[in-house]
Amino acid sequence: MCERCGKEKVKLGEKCSETLEFVAASFKVIREESPKLGCRP
């Protein structure tokens, strides 16, 4: 819920980051996604 208007927040997009990690002669990608929420007027 939006602290200012009290309406439910909607997904506006998402932030994504990836980390490349070398582990014992191999690579693995760690991907983190977090939604960006906002209020629609």
The whole-model pTM stands at 0.33
- Determine the pLDDT at residue 8: 87
Render pLDDT for 1-41 as a digit per residue (tens, 0 to 9): 888 888 888 888 888 888 888 878 887 788 888 888 888 76
DSSP category for residue 8: P
Please give the full DSSP string across 5-27, using - where no structure is assigned: T-PPPEEEEEEEEEEEEEETTEE
> What is d(CA 20, CA 31) in angstroms, rounded to the nearest whole number?
9
- Determine the pLDDT at residue 26: 80
DSSP helix/strand/coil, 10 = strand
- Determine the pLDDT at residue 40: 74
Maximum Cα–Cα distance for the chain, whole Å? 52
